[in-house]
Amino acid sequence: MLVLYWPHLIDPERRTLRKVHPMGRKDMPRQGIFATCSSARPNPVLVSAVPLLERHGNTLKVRGLEAVDGSPVIDIKPYAASYYGAENENATVPEWMAQLHREMNAEM
């Protein structure tokens, strides 16, 4: 499922940033804000793709939600890899992002 949420703890001043170091890492080249997953966006609606583990009434239990406690949930949508283009053979990511993903996977 996709969970859209509002990062309520982000300083409004950060919403004027246009370039950031991905994940705040100074060893990564600065990128345009829309090329990153930074929460410092003009309209900071964020999304996490998470598996649904359980449902009890209107309470959902998921794994891997990146939102901090208290972040308002804006919407919940179903996730379909083929609909969002995740199965696109021609899809590419920049090397800096591939490096971040390799490092995150190595930590798991």
Res 92 pLDDT > 90: no
pLDDT class of 105 with cuts at 50, 70, 90: confident
pLDDT class of 108 with cuts at 50, 70, 90: low
The pTM of the whole model exceeds 0.85: no
Res 87 pLDDT > 80: no
The CA-atom distances, in angstroms, between 36 and each of 4, 24, 55, 64, 91 are: 16, 11, 32, 19, 16
Domain ranges in the chain? 2-107
CATH of domain 2-107: 2.40.30.70
